[in-house]
Amino acid sequence: MPLVFELCPGRMVGGDHPCFIIAEIGQNHQGDIEIAKKMIKMAKDCGADCAKFQKSELEYKFNKRALERPYTSKHSWGKTYGEHKRHLEFSHEQYRELQKYAEKVGIIFTASGMDEMAVEFLHEINVPFFKVASLDTNNFPYLEKTAKKGRPMVVSSGMQSMETMRQVYKTVKAHNKNFAILQCTSAYPLEPEHVNLRVITEYQKEFPDIPIGYSGHESGINISVAAVALGAKIIERHVTLDKTWKGNDHSASLEPSELSELVHSIRLVERALGSSLKQMLPCEKPCHDKLGKSVVAKVKIPKGTVLTLDMLAVKVAEPIGVKAEDIFQLVGKTVMKDVEEDESVTPDLVENCRKKAKC
Q: Are residues 173 and 75 in the same domain?
A: yes
State the average pLDDT for the chain.
96
105 lies in a domain?
A: yes
Q: Is there a contact between 6 and 152 (Cβ–Cβ < 8 Å)?
A: yes
Is 19 part of a structural domain of the chain? yes
- Judgement on whether residues 218 and 292 belong to the same structural domain of the protein: no
Instruction: Examine the domain organization and report whether 314 and 334 are in the same domain.
Output: yes
Domain end call among 273, 303, 325: 273
C-alpha to C-alpha distance for 16 and 63, rounded to whole angstroms: 44
β-strands 293-297, 50-55 pairing: unpaired
pLDDT of residue 1 exceeding 60: no
Reduce the DSSP state of residue 258 to 3 states and report it. helix
152 with 89, same domain? yes
pLDDT of residue 213: 98
Does residue 70 share a domain with residue 160? yes
Say whether both 163 and 302 belong to one domain: no
Position 288 scores a pLDDT of 93
For 243, residues 6+ apart whose C-beta sits below 8 A from its C-beta are: 250, 251, 253, 255
User: What one-character DSSP code corresponds to residue 352?
Assistant: T
Beta-carbon count within 10 A of 294 CB: 21
User: In the predicted model, what is the mean pLDDT of residues 153-164?
Assistant: 98
For residue 225, pLDDT over 90 is answered with yes
Measure the CA angle with vertex 274, ends 270 and 277; round to 5°.
155
Q: Identify residue 262 by its one-letter amino acid code.
A: L
Half-sphere exposure of 197 (CA within 13 A, CB side): 17
Q: In sequence order, which residues have a C-beta less than 8 Å from that of residue 110 and are 6 or more positions away?
A: 50, 52, 53, 122, 127, 128, 129, 130, 131
Instruction: Look at residue 228 and tell me if it is in a domain.
Output: yes
**CA dihedral angle for residue 250, residue 255, residue 261, residue 267, rounded to 10 degrees:** 60
What phi and psi, each to the nearest 5 degrees, are found at residue 43?
-60, -40
| CATH number of the domain within which 308 lies | 3.90.1210.10
Shared-domain flag, residues 265 and 295: no
Final residue of a structural domain among 240, 273, 306: 273
pTM over 0.85: yes
On whether residue 162 sits in a domain, the answer given is: yes
Q: What is the rounded distance in angstroms from the CA atom of residue 8 to the CA atom of residue 24?
A: 16
**Residue 310: exposed, middle, or buried by beta-carbon count in 10 A (0-12, 13-18, 19+)?**
exposed
Q: Is the pLDDT of residue 356 over 60?
A: no
Q: At residue 230, does pLDDT exceed 60?
A: yes
Residue 222 CA to residue 116 CA, distance in Å, equals 35
In a domain, residue 161? The reply is yes
Note whether 288 and 311 are within 8 A (CB). no
Q: Are residues 248 and 329 in the same domain?
A: no
pLDDT at 248 over 90: no
Q: Provide the pLDDT for residue 358.
A: 63
* Dist CA 171 CA 189 (whole Å): 30
Residue 349 lies in a domain: no
Coil vs helix vs strand at 100: helix
Percent of the chain, pLDDT > 70? 98
The whole-angstrom separation of Cα 125 and Cα 89 is 17
Structural domain count, the chain: 2
Q: Closest Cα partner for 232 from 193, 158, 196, 182?
A: 182
Query: Is residue 14 left, alpha or beta, with left meaning phi > 0 and alpha meaning psi from -120 to 50?
Result: left
Element (H, E) at 37: helix 33-45
Identify the helix (H) or strand (E) that includes residue 294. strand 293-297
Instruction: Tell me, yes or no, whether 141 lies in a domain.
Output: yes
pLDDT tier at 3 (50, 70, 90 boundaries)? confident
pLDDT given at position 357: 52
Residue 355's pLDDT band (boundaries 50, 70, 90)?
low
CB 254 within 8 A of CB 239: yes
Is residue 305 located within the same domain as residue 264? no
Same domain, 247 and 323: no
Distance, CA of 74 to CA of 71 (rounded, Å): 9
Whether residues 260 and 298 share a domain: the answer is no
Query: The domain that contains 80 carries what CATH number?
Result: 3.20.20.70
Q: How far apart are CA 111 and CA 133, in angstroms?
A: 10
Expressed as residue numbers, the domain containing 307 is 282-344
Query: 3-state class of 257 per DSSP?
Result: helix
> Band of the pLDDT at 344, cuts 50, 70, 90?
very high
Which residue among 254, 273, 292 closes a domain?
273
Q: Is 330 part of a structural domain of the chain?
A: yes
- DSSP code for 239: B
* One domain, residues 124 and 78: yes
- The Cα–Cα gap between 153 and 175 comes to 11
